[in-house]
Structure 1
Amino acid sequence: MTTASLRKPSAPKGLMLSIHVVTWNVASAAPTVDLSDLLQLNNEDLNLDIYIIGLQEMNYGIISLLSDAAFEDPWSSFFMDMLSPLNLVKISQVRMQGLFLLVFAKYQHLPYIQIISTKSIPTGLYGYWGNKGGITICLKVYGYYVSIINCHLPPHMYNNDQRLEHFDRILESLTFEGYDVPNILDHDLILWFGDMNFRIEDFGLLFVQECITKKRYKELWEKDQLFIAKKQDRLLREFQEGPLLFPPTYKFDRHSNNYDTSEKKRKPAWTDRILWRLKRQPAKANPSGFLLTQKDYVSHMTYSISDHKPVTGTFDLEVGMRHINDYVSYVWVGDNQVSRGNNLNQVYINISAIPDTEEQFLLCYYSNNLHSIVGISQPFKIPSGFFLREDILSEPEPQL
């Protein structure tokens, strides 16, 4: 016999999660280089809990798409091979033609992460073609709604209005019927990144190149189309971005750090961006309840398999107590241990999963690695007249 006792929620107030976001237009290239620097694997000071990886312009020819449908795609396999030795598990992915979004999390966080939804929003050819648009994964992380969007917006200098229109269209398409928070704008955190294709207006090529050479990036910010749009658009203004202290990430000659030397000589631009939006909190809200702090926002110039350089952002996400249903825990102990507190195993279970009557039971799978329940059955009844003989219970398990 065992006895269950209800404890206070065990998720500590102010739990800190370290999140690493990657955005990269790979221009149909295969993962042929070491990505340790991109994933911050060489940084001994970082202990990352969650990886969010968004790629654009993956190879989406018919042969590639058919192959990926039958087997794990090369990029996904590559990232899994690098991250699984660090106890990181791929918890969700979504693909729409060349757009790809992956989320990895450490084992110990899996009981607290729920996959709410994955969606694709094509905006190419009036919404019928997925070469442009956005893909999203919505999670519930420690009781908080977190929406992740990877996008690829229309290119070219003159398409700025179209980019902003697609931005709004993607956002308007993200609703979550049947959940407590159906409107994405009410979610606690939106992480939005990708090849947004915003360009630098007015300045000529030579002036832009001179500013880059002399690292006078601030002079270019004022003419960056996204920087301008954030001043004018009320909704876009709510999205934050770290300072652009790295060179424009587009457009490079492949396999070099030289900006476009072709006949077109395209003007460099910060096309690859990472934005975030925290839900507005009341003035008297507990400031330590849910906070996101950006620790790093950089480009990675050493990677040259594409005409874009990858961009990463590293964040600290502080999560505090939200709702009892997200943190209810039970402690299962032997009868002779009820009054003692030594060597107890603590498990976590949502209170909504508890059977309504004493006649119902649950079958749970307990993981010794996670020290928690990781699988749970629907409530069921044991038929009357069903008994377990003590001699059967005491028999050793058969050797397979």
Structure 2
Amino acid sequence: MVHIVTWNVATAPPPRDVSSLLQLDTSCTNTDMYIIGLQEVNSKILNFISDLAFDDPWSLHLMDILAPLNYVKLSSIRMQGLLLLTFVKHQHIPFIQDIRTNYIRTGLFGYWGNKGGVTIRMSIYGHMVCFMNCHLPAHMENANQRLDDFERMLDAQQFDDDSFGNMLEHDLVFWFGDLNFRISDFGIHFIREAINNNKYNLLWDKDQLNAAKKKEPFLQGFLEGPLKFKPTYKFDQNSDVYDTRWKTSLFGLNNKKRKPAWTDRILWKLKDVSGSEAKDTESDFEQILKVTLEKYTSHMSYGISDHKPVTGAFTLQVISFMFIY
């Protein structure tokens, strides 16, 4: 079982209790690997310099919790406020190989790392799997820029000594983070009324990412679980109440609030092998990787940020087929 977490933590330190976030409060915990993608980790210059010399507070806190449960920190990669952590059960370590990490900046035309992606790829029991934690541009009107940035990351993200042309040549890619896609057209009152009545389906067609998946070729094949949980942005801190703050403009105070949105997402894509070259006739077996989403949800109890964390639990299964000639 692979458990993926994405959370924009808004520079806050880690909460003391992360049991629900890591599914440690369930009666049977069978997670083999944790992939934890954080955005807006405190990246003030003094904090960042300290984190270069020592593990950051989030890494230390999670390691204190997971190490006694026989998890090993496989990797940690950070680019300013973006942090990607990988923890693996000890018994799987011999079967995880070819680990590579990298990052790509997209802020300020590629010169600043406040936006972009941090990535780890590895061979898991013989299958190449890639995980990318992203923080894409904010605001309703920047949907096209979000799409452009992600398409560029797919093409440009490379690893040392890499034989892959781009990310999509891996057997499996997970894409997650604060993707910042919004709900278009509908007004704030309609959106909140739909949420209050648990009629999330009324909002799905106007979700910018759902709309883009229907027309953008580079998003074809990316899958996501149903959005059957509340939009995860924007909340008042330490509450489950959507944005009530008055904003300050050049002309004084106004009551324009942010519309709720599913900014925090987890998607995945399996490599399309239908058009690949014919199988090597000297091989009698083909191993197929199957991915099953077990749970996709948000965690409303955490209030340190204006975002709520989102988790996805996935079963990865290797299926062998024998060919008879």
Please give the alpha-carbon distance, in whole angstroms, between the structure 1 residues aligned to 2:286 and 2:188. Answer: 45
Structure 2 distance, partners of 1:281, 1:171, is 18
Q: Distance in 1 between matches of 2:318 and 2:96?
A: 13
Name the % identity: 56
Q: Is the 8 A contact 1:92 1:115 kept in 2?
A: no
Do structure 1's residue 171 and structure 2's residue 154 form an aligned pair? yes
Q: Is 1:97 paired with 2:80? A: yes
Partner Cα separation in structure 2 for residue 184 and residue 31 of structure 1: 31
Q: CA deviation at 1:289?
A: 2.2
| Equivalent in 134, 152, 177 of residue 151 of structure 1 | 134
Tell me: CA distance 1:262–1:193, structure 2 relative to 1, closer, same or farther (3 Å).
same
Do residues 282 (structure 1) and 274 (structure 2) align?
Answer: yes
SS of the residue 1:163 aligns to: helix
The Cα shift of 1:282 comes to 3.2
Query: Which structure 1 segments of 5+ residues have no match?
Result: 1-17, 323-400
Distance in 2 of aligned mates of 1:124 and 1:318: 37
**C-alpha deviations, 1:91-130, integer Å up to 9, x for none?**
0110000000001111110001114311110000000000
Separation of aligned partners in 1, 2:286 and 2:25: 33
Partner of 2:318: 319
Inter-partner Cα distance in structure 1 for 2:314 and 2:163: 26
Deviations 1:151-186 (A, max 9, x none): 000000000110001111111112346445443211
Deviation at 1:287, TM superposition (A): 8.8
Match of 2:296 in 1: 297
Partner residue in 2 for 1:73: 56
Task: Tell me, yes or no, if the aligned pair for 1:149 and 1:193 is still in contact at 8 Å.
Answer: yes
Q: Hey, what's the Cα distance between the residues in 2 that align with 1:38 and 1:212?
A: 22
The letter of the residue matching 2:267 is: L
- Aligned counterparts of 2:131 and 2:152: Cα–Cα separation in 1: 16
Alignment match, 1:140: 123
RMSD of aligned Cα (Å): 1.7
**Structure 2 unaligned spans of 5+:** 247-255, 280-284
Aligned to 1:266: 258
Question: 1:229 pairs with 208, 212, 217, which one?
Answer: 212
Distance in 2 of aligned mates of 1:291 and 1:223: 30
- Is the CA contact 1:288–1:318 (under 8 Å) kept in the aligned structure 2? no
* Alpha-carbon distance between aligned partners in 2 of 1:303 and 1:160, rounded to the nearest angstrom: 27
Tell me, yes or no, if the aligned pair for 1:252 and 1:259 is still in contact at 8 Å: yes
Deviations 1:58-107 (A, max 9, x none): 00001101111111110000110111111110001100000000011111
Q: Does 1:120 align with 2:103?
A: yes
- Work out whether residues 137 and 147 of structure 1, in 8 Å CA contact, stay in contact via their aligned partners in 2: yes
* Change in CA separation of 1:63 and 1:267 when aligned onto 2, cut-off 3 Å: same
Rounded Cα–Cα distance in structure 2 between residues aligned with 1:128 and 1:239: 28
Match of 1:245 in 2: 228
Residue type of the partner of 1:276? W
Q: Is the 8 A contact 1:176 1:182 kept in 2?
A: no
| Cα deviation digits, residues 244-265 of structure 1 (max 9, x gap) | 0000000000001100001231
Alignment partners' CA distance in 2, 1:288 and 1:217: 38
Output the CA distance in 1 between the equivalents of 2:45 and 2:290.
43
Return the TM-score normalized by structure 2.
0.90
Tell me the alpha carbon deviations over residues 191-240 of structure 1, each in whole angstroms, 9 at most, x when there is no partner.
Answer: 11000000000000100000000010001001000000000101212110
Structure 1 runs (4+) deviating above 4 angstroms are: 283-288
Take 2:125 and 2:215, find their aligned partners in 1: how far apart are those partners? 35
C-alpha separation in 2, matches of 1:268 and 1:287: 45
Q: Is the contact made by 1:123 and 1:130 (CA closer than 8 Å) also made in structure 2?
A: yes
Tell me which amino acid in the other structure corresponds to 1:175. Q
